[in-house]
Structure 1
Amino acid sequence: MPVPIGSALNEWLDGNAAGLDDGRADPASLLPRLAAAGLFGIGVPAAWGGQGGEVAEAVEAIAAISSRSLAAGFVFWSQRTYIEFLLQSPNEGLRSRLLPDLLTGALAGATGLSNAMKFLAGLEALQITAAPQGAGYSLDGRMPWVTNLRPQGFHVAAAIAHADGSGAMVASLPSDAPGLRRTEDLSLLGLRGTNTAAIDLHGVKLSPDDIIHPQAGLWLPQVRPAFLGLQCGMSIGLARRALQEATERGGAAREVLRLPLGELSARLAAEEKALRDGLRALHFQARPAPLFELRIRLADIVAEAVGLELQASGGRAYLQPQGEDFARRWREAAFIPVITPSLVQLKAVLAARPEAVAGCAA
């Protein structure tokens, strides 16, 4: 179902997509603009300040933004996914305290659970540990890659292992916590306007009031469909735009590429439907493998779509300034396979023993 974005935001994104990608645009302006369009409230119950609806509608909104700027879509995904974490948390106090500012864009939400998703799939140990300290904990560790770490203020979700090996929890850490250090932005090839950096933790105090869920192993499978489903919105939006650009090219390419463009568009529509249906029916909570496979197929469609755009554009795509938008989409497409969990990581889980794949849903 198409989500109306508004002409003002669309025009701003079109004018700033290159700057958000190469870092020339001020990233501080992005989050408030997305919030002003009401995007963060899509799929959020009205009782909690949102517009109602479901997660599938938020996926569509991320796709609409990503079709104009994947950097903007990436930030949108981070903010909306963090909001989803709070919606699915039993910690009502934390939700009530943070959600209003998240919906207005006054506060950034960072989904620092990439390590946790790899941990859940048996690919990596948790990188943050908690030792008891008074009524709470003392945290040490590192998050090497986190997006939406807005210098104006953020909360970052983190999966944390108990130092005694008794399990793990998920908590929200504020940017102004003593002992929490945000590095300079990472030197990315693109998407440089996304406030992506690393976080170091040295003796950071964690209060029970900031725990999203005390049992990560139980909670992460519950939120993983939204985490990955919303992430798929980026692939859908980028593929749509590349297919649109290829279809609109004139000349001999229009007829030669008509069939492959039609076939790829049909494949994309089928994957979109499978994602919507699976999210609405909650199929992916008990059976994550189909969602992993869907994410892989969408990444393949993105690669094919930008390839068709290149063929339809011909040499024009390799000239400046005519090919600048295509060059940005080509770089954006190169990012899709490495978003955590990466395609290699997903394929490794799917290639494991059937009981291991089933186990990553537990």
Structure 2
Amino acid sequence: MTVNNIVLEEGVMQIPSWWKVPPGYEKLQETAHLLGKNELLPRASTSDQQSCYPRESLRKIADAGFAAVTIPADDGGLGAGFTGFAILSQSFAQYCASSTMCWVMHTAAVQTLYTAGTDQQRQRYIPGVLKGEIGGLAFSEPATGSHFWNVVSEAPRHGDGYLLNADKSFVTSAGEADWYVVATSFPNSVESDKLMFLLVNNNQEGVESFPFSAMGLRGNSSGPMKFKDVFVPKEDRLGSEGGMNYYNDNTIDPLFLLGTAACWTGIAQGALNAAIDGAKKKVHADTGKSVAGYQVIRHELAKAQILVDSARAMLYRTAEGMDNTIQNGRALSECLYPLWQLKTHAADIVIQVTNQALQVSGGRGYLTGQVEKFLRDGRAGAIMGPTNEILREWIGKTLIEVPWFE
């Protein structure tokens, strides 16, 4: 049987394309998978085993036109919106989670620069981004842990700028990014909050990064950084002297939660794909049956795929809701509640699905390889701030109609 020049085996159910990707984004997803298979996957194992930053993979992502996916096309970006961003992240993560996470954080940094920055700042930074320069977010601090929105560092005025002193923890692309959006406090702010964003280049005097060694996402270079007596000219301040919590709620959190949830969903699908492939290929000589020939195995695969698809359905619905919110001129913070649910669910199911993928794969899955790497990579989701415990508390408070943030 042939449909649209594709030969289909008689009786084999075909999964509808709209179940895998929102209509209109099929070509974008196809391009992402080709890039993942041809460029990200071949380097993923080396990046993981050697804790090597995936610079070449990120360059290939930029060369493919995905360096600034959420920036409008009129300003040099791809203009793919949040839905395009979610599709790309979910697709890339099926091949290399480290590259994907670095790219997600980069995209959040670029979007923050675009929304909070001036035209002059955009003109200085966006052209470099389109050529492959990497941005990063330096937010979390050891003193406040996963409460990354709370910072204790300060940058008082100093001459024609600010003197930044800050200890940062878990900075994705630490020491590897070309520039960072650094969250700090302006001590004399007259705004509603003291949060201030400064653009700092990696090669500035006083910027220091430290090694990263972790259970998973080993290519991320998500180590600590120190900014010691770093002078930041006032033209490199994003927005106002304080009052930047608005951008936390309307740019950074939405992009971060959406992108990371997409990453966890993609990791789960990638692990399951590897388990399915292995189950079909592995044949027991004593029975003549493949591992996939056992009903119990097929049931585990089905249960895992249902979980992945539940997260992916939430992902695309949330992303489309975010695009509609922006198109209707409303604040993106309206989407925080579904984003909390999405991140929590995606970070929960990736743990369960990667465990199921390993169980289906048996001893082969326990050996160093794709399934084992996906399990380690995905475990980061539930503890990455806001942790799943914090998000469930915010969701619960919202349900009983009390203020969620204190």
Residue 195 of structure 1 aligns with which residue?
221
Alignment of 1:126 onto 2:151: yes
TM-fit CA distance, 1:98: 0.8
Residue 205 of structure 1 aligns with which residue?
231
Structure 1 contact 157–172 (Cα < 8 Å) conserved: yes
- Which structure is larger by alpha-carbon Rg, 1 or 2? 2
Residue 85 of structure 1 aligns with an amino acid whose one-letter code is T
Aligned Cα root-mean-square deviation (Å):
2.7
Residue 66 of structure 2 aligns with which residue?
39
Residue 181 of structure 2 aligns with an amino acid whose one-letter code is A
TM-score (normalised: structure 2): 0.78
Residue 319 of structure 2 aligns with which residue?
276
TM-fit CA distance, 1:115: 5.3
| Alignment coverage as a number of residue pairs | 351
Percent of aligned pairs with the same amino acid: 19
**3-state DSSP of counterpart to 2:120:** helix
TM-fit CA distance, 1:228: 1.5
Structure 1 contact 168–216 (Cα < 8 Å) conserved: yes
Residue number among 2, 21, 24 corresponding to 2:48 in the alignment: 21
The 5-angstrom pairing of residues 165-184 of structure 1 reads 166=190, 167-183=194-210
TM-fit CA distance, 1:84: 0.9
Moved more, 340-349 or 218-227: 340-349
The whole-number CA distance in structure 2 between the counterparts of 1:243 and 1:6 is: 16
More helix by share: 1
The whole-number CA distance in structure 1 between the counterparts of 2:315 and 2:334 is: 20
Structure 2 contact 168–225 (Cα < 8 Å) conserved: yes
The 5-angstrom pairing of residues 1-362 of structure 1 reads 1-2=25-26, 3=29, 4-5=31-32, 7=34, 10-23=37-50, 25=52, 27-105=54-132, 107-114=133-140, 125-151=150-176, 154-164=178-188, 166=190, 167-183=194-210, 185-214=211-240, 215-223=243-251, 224-248=253-277, 249=279, 250-252=292-294, 253-257=296-300, 259-282=302-325, 285-286=333-334, 288-318=336-366, 320=367, 324-351=369-396, 354-357=401-404, 359=405
TM-fit CA distance, 1:85: 0.9
TM-fit CA distance, 1:326: 1.0
Q: Residues 114 and 62 (structure 1 numbering): CA distance in 2 closer, same or farther, change over 3 Å?
A: farther
The whole-number CA distance in structure 1 between the counterparts of 2:387 and 2:359 is: 27
The whole-number CA distance in structure 2 between the counterparts of 1:333 and 1:317 is: 15
The whole-number CA distance in structure 2 between the counterparts of 1:171 and 1:11 is: 37
Runs of 4+ in 1 over 6 A off after TM superposition: 121-124
Moved more, 12-21 or 244-253: 244-253
The whole-number CA distance in structure 2 between the counterparts of 1:287 and 1:246 is: 34
TM-fit CA distance, 1:56: 1.7
Residue 344 of structure 2 aligns with an amino acid whose one-letter code is I
TM-fit CA distance, 1:197: 2.2
Partner deviation per Cα, 1:206-225 (whole Å, 9 max, x = no partner): 22211122121222211121
The whole-number CA distance in structure 1 between the counterparts of 2:309 and 2:229 is: 52
**3-state DSSP of counterpart to 2:350:** helix
Residue 18 of structure 2 aligns with which residue?
none
Q: Residues 205 and 262 (structure 1 numbering): CA distance in 2 closer, same or farther, change over 3 Å?
A: closer
Moved more, 345-354 or 153-162: 345-354
Q: Residues 258 and 340 (structure 1 numbering): CA distance in 2 closer, same or farther, change over 3 Å?
A: closer
Structure 1, unaligned runs of 5 or more: none
The whole-number CA distance in structure 2 between the counterparts of 1:226 and 1:125 is: 18
Residue 228 of structure 1 aligns with an amino acid whose one-letter code is L
**3-state DSSP of counterpart to 2:91:** helix
Q: Residues 136 and 308 (structure 1 numbering): CA distance in 2 closer, same or farther, change over 3 Å?
A: same
The whole-number CA distance in structure 1 between the counterparts of 2:110 and 2:60 is: 17
Residue 229 of structure 2 aligns with an amino acid whose one-letter code is G
Q: Residues 332 and 218 (structure 1 numbering): CA distance in 2 closer, same or farther, change over 3 Å?
A: same
TM-fit CA distance, 1:123: 7.5
Moved more, 243-252 or 224-233: 243-252
TM-fit CA distance, 1:39: 1.6
The whole-number CA distance in structure 1 between the counterparts of 2:208 and 2:395 is: 36
TM-fit CA distance, 1:146: 0.3
TM-score (normalised: structure 1): 0.87
**3-state DSSP of counterpart to 1:39:** coil
TM-fit CA distance, 1:129: 0.1
Residue 323 of structure 2 aligns with an amino acid whose one-letter code is R
Structure 2, unaligned runs of 5 or more: 1-24, 280-291, 326-330
Q: Residues 304 and 192 (structure 1 numbering): CA distance in 2 closer, same or farther, change over 3 Å?
A: closer
